Amino acid sequence: THPPSLRVVVSAVIHPAIRIQYSTSRKKRRGFIDSINTFHPKVKSALRPRSRIRVKMNLTVWLTLYLSGFAFFTYACIVADPDKSPVAKLLTQTLPGYALSGLRRLAGPKVASSFESVAEMGLVIVYLLIVLGCWSIIFTHAYDLITSSTHVSDGHKYSGYMVFVACMGSWRYASRASPGIVTARTLVRYDNYPYDDLLFPRDRICPTVKIRKLARSKYDWVTNQHIPRFDHFCGWINNAVGEENYRWFLLFLAVHVGMCFYGSIVCYWLFVGEIIDGDLLNATFFVVETGEEVKASKMVVVQFLLARHFYLSACFICMVVMGVALTLFLGFHLYLSARGMTTNEYYKWKQVIRWHKSAKRRYEEAKKEGLVTERQTQGEGKAVSSATISDDVDVGCVGPAGTSVAGDAKAASTQTGANGDRGKEGDDDDDSAILDPGPFPKNIYDRGIRENFGEIIYPRSLREDATSRWRSHLRKGGVKPSRVEPDLAVLNKPKAT
């Protein structure tokens, strides 16, 4: 007695593969559902209250909450400076401090020390939870859909295993690969870059390890090692990124970008295939609890798929969001590589830009007021050559940690004085006069895209000239040649944090 063309796909609470005819009577509809419940075990399970949608929110609200939570976590725990952001300080310093002190009082210093060691690997734990959690969903949910799907080939099951191995392998290798360690013994091996007397002044001693600071090197306070061509410390791999492992860090990023977009595309076609095979865009939906009829639309179908494949949908959204974020991060590092810079040097150059603009503005103002003499004009460019940039800043994945670039630039400007000479800003001598900073200094480490990437793929410290020079240095120090190669592995093994 009912129109056969008007079908209802029961969503959320009844197994969605079952289509029933529309009944004008809510009582008849409920009776029909109860009759299905008696002989269809899947429907019976689906009708249980635990499988119903507990919170009736539309897809927009869910996505807004998800993205807002992700953005809040990223900003508060990774991007924001705890010295300037009260929220970041609360989440990353105050609350962990209270928890640690309470644990120390309750369980003792040994347990608190062990907990603190585990907490230092917090981002690694988050990484493993996200990646392994998503892969578990793929293996348990997506692979079943691939088997029954007519739009996705079964070959993606095998390629999925390969991508998983590549993902975990690249992470493991990047976390274990040594960035290189500068010591008094290996100083000769890593001394491969000239000083630019701007970002890296010559004749400086590292106050921590008491060795000469090489150009482009930096002491990392997390690993307690002096790293050549230091880039940053990455919490996701719990390792410093330097001259000898930067290539593996880029591979780690590239593999994860490919993994996210590959998984997103496969999940997308699984959902599209279900929409086409089930003709969901032409179906009519209704809510069992209320009997309310809902006509099909793109948003309704998306909500239906989200309810039916909740975990796979969450995994799909996570892959899309992380894929975009990792693509931007990889693009940033490829840009740095093409320009012959590291992350550490990039933020140093931002200080130089601020300093140069400020010095140029002061010079132009003094020139208009007639405070600049011909002798001072002839000395243009000296300010840049003598300017120095603060190096006492920890650098993480998203830049300097614990201090601001602007603050460093201001400190550097104060140290250099009006003419760039430190410690002379109060003198009335001609040497303290305002000088023209001249043209903006060039990056001497930028040797062209090809050579820049060549130094990443084949680091200078691993090339024959560097290793030969180091072997010769060890022989002069009385070390037998047969012991040189084993020492390489020992010296480059990073300390546990």
Query: Residue 127: which of 266, 322, 302 has the closest Cα?
Result: 322
Query: Residue 254: which of 156, 174, 315 has the closest Cα?
Result: 174
pLDDT number for residue 341:
95
Distance CA 104, CA 108 (A): 5
Distance CA 196, CA 201 (A): 7
The amino acid occupying position 438 is G
Crossing angle between the packed helical segments 310-338 and 122-137, to the nearest 10 degrees: 130
8-state DSSP, 108 = -
Distance CA 46, CA 12 (A): 8
Query: Residue 88: which of 69, 70, 72 has the closest Cα?
Result: 72
Write out the chain's pLDDT in tens, 497 residues: 333 333 334 333 333 333 333 333 444 444 444 444 443 333 333 333 333 333 344 556 777 777 788 778 777 776 677 777 888 888 877 888 888 888 888 888 888 888 877 777 888 998 999 999 999 999 999 999 999 888 999 999 999 999 999 999 999 999 999 999 999 999 999 999 999 988 999 889 999 999 999 999 999 988 899 999 999 999 899 999 999 999 999 999 999 999 999 999 999 999 999 999 888 888 887 766 677 777 888 888 888 888 889 899 999 999 999 999 999 999 999 999 999 999 999 999 998 999 889 888 988 888 888 776 655 555 545 455 445 566 655 665 555 554 444 444 444 343 333 333 333 333 334 445 677 788 899 999 999 999 999 999 999 999 999 999 988 888 887 665 544 444 444 444 444 44
Distance CA 350, CA 372 (A): 27
Length of the chain measured in residues: 497
pLDDT number for residue 376:
52
Distance CA 315, CA 259 (A): 12
pLDDT number for residue 33:
46
Give the burial class of 184: count Cβ atoms within 10 A of its Cβ; 0-12 exposed, 13-18 middle, 19 or more buried. Answer: exposed
- Whether this prediction's pTM lies above 0.85 is answered by no
8 A C-beta contact, residue 445 and residue 196: yes
pLDDT number for residue 36:
41
pLDDT number for residue 394:
61
Distance CA 373, CA 433 (A): 9
8-state DSSP, 12 = S
pLDDT number for residue 313:
92
8 A C-beta contact, residue 343 and residue 402: no
pLDDT number for residue 112:
80
Phi–psi pair at 7, nearest 5 degrees? -115, 155
DSSP state letters, 151-209: SS-THHHHHHHHHHHHHHHHHHHHHHS------TTTHHHH--S---SSSS-SS-B-TTT
Query: Residue 347: which of 305, 308, 404 has the closest Cα?
Result: 404
Strands 399-401 and 394-396: antiparallel
The amino acid occupying position 497 is T
In sequence order, which residues have a C-beta less than 8 Å from that of residue 465 and are 6 or more positions away? none
pLDDT number for residue 489:
43
End-to-end CA distance of the chain, in Å?
74
Pinpoint the alpha helices (H) of 244-388: 246-278, 298-308, 310-338, 343-368, 374-378, 382-386
271-301 burial string, b = 16+ CB within 10 Å, else e?
A: bebbbeebebeebebbbbeeeeeeebeeebb
127-136 burial string, b = 16+ CB within 10 Å, else e?
A: beeebeebbe
Distance CA 353, CA 409 (A): 9
